[in-house]
Amino acid sequence: MRLKLRVWRQPESSAAGKLVEYDAPEVSPDMSFLEMLDVVNEGLTARGEEPIAFDHDCREGICGACGFMINGLAHGGERGTTVCQLHMRNFQDGDELTLEPWRARAFPVIRDLVVDRGAFDRIIQSGGYVSVNTGTAPDGNAIPVPKSAADVAMDAAQCIGCGACVAQCPNGAAQLFTAAKVSHLGLLPQGQPERDERAVRMVARLEEEMFGSCTNYGECEAACPKSISIDFIAQMNRDYLKARVRPKRQAKAAGGAG
């Protein structure tokens, strides 16, 4: 196959970027999308040009490092697939593909297709953990977890933090990511002691970062390579509301009793 690529080239955050055309000849349908870019980069390097920068690590769809837009679709638009697991057999000979970095105010471009997703790290730091004195290794069955809770928590825990949900959302909102992280701990028995505080802190941090607000477009769920359900956003909103309303009710009740 022979493809025409239009790739966003931007040498650094403060520099202006532009789309540059590249020819990608002799593309095998068995290549992954990143392997195809590796071959393009080998050609650029051989000609003494700067290779196209893109993020990647595991190339197995599990680390969340990769991700960019292909013709306006996060990870290329193949359902439940990261761009590292997207194969060239999904494209046709002669296709013209435009590659751009995630476009979101909260994810500034570092270089070419690489963006800074530090905002996600700061949301996790604000509450995405369970504080326990672990002591010695606990018995695996010491805290029974109901099967139904384990299943739903595992669905949320599949989020790999890639940022496709933000990039595809017309508002640039990060509700799906945050909801997955709030829920995968909040649904387990081990996560209960900090459930309220976690929801409040993580939502507060989400608001402090430069993300937009969720207006239920649902594009995030469609673009998510792990098919995280937007039901988790409703779950997070319920947790947040309960955490904010419960202390006020308790204070009111205590005042009334006095």
- 228 binding partner (options ligand FES, ligand SF4, none; Cβ < 5 to 8 Å by kind): ligand SF4
**203 contacts 178 by C-beta, under 8 angstroms:** yes
Nearest approach, Cβ of residue 167 and ligand SF4 (Å) = 8
* Residue 62 engages ligand FES in binding (rule: CB under 6 A): yes
Give whole-number Cα distances, 230 to 106, 133, 226, in Å: 21, 33, 12
The encoded tokens of residue 98 equal 């435009």
> Measured between alpha carbons, how far is 22 from 38 in angstroms, rounded to an integer?
13
Which CB, 33 or 240, lies closer to ligand FES?
A: 33
Which of 56, 111, 198, 226 is the binder for ligand FES (CB under 6 A)? 56
* Residue 82 engages ligand FES in binding (rule: CB under 6 A): yes
Nearest approach, Cβ of residue 209 and ligand SF4 (Å) = 14
Nearest approach, Cβ of residue 179 and ligand SF4 (Å) = 8
Nearest approach, Cβ of residue 99 and ligand SF4 (Å) = 18
Nearest CA among 187, 90, 98, 204 for reference residue 145: 187
Q: Which residues contact 10 (CB under 8 A, 6 or more apart)?
A: 16, 17, 18, 101, 109, 111, 112
* Residue 61 engages ligand FES in binding (rule: CB under 6 A): yes
For binding to ligand SF4 (CB under 6 A), which residues are involved? 159-165, 176-177, 180, 224-226, 228
Which of 12, 23, 49, 57 is the binder for ligand FES (CB under 6 A)? 57
> Measured between alpha carbons, how far is 38 from 30 in angstroms, rounded to an integer?
14
Which of 58, 73, 110, 243 is the binder for ligand FES (CB under 6 A)? 58
Which CB, 66 or 157, lies closer to ligand FES?
A: 66
- 57 binding partner (options ligand FES, ligand SF4, none; Cβ < 5 to 8 Å by kind): ligand FES
- 82 binding partner (options ligand SF4, ligand FES, none; Cβ < 5 to 8 Å by kind): ligand FES
- 70 binding partner (options ligand SF4, ligand FES, none; Cβ < 5 to 8 Å by kind): none
Which of 7, 52, 65, 86 is the binder for ligand FES (CB under 6 A)? 65
Q: Residues binding ligand FES: what is the number (CB under 6 A)?
A: 13
- 62 binding partner (options ligand SF4, ligand FES, none; Cβ < 5 to 8 Å by kind): ligand FES
Residues lying near ligand FES in the complex (CB under 6 A):
56-59, 61-66, 82, 84, 160
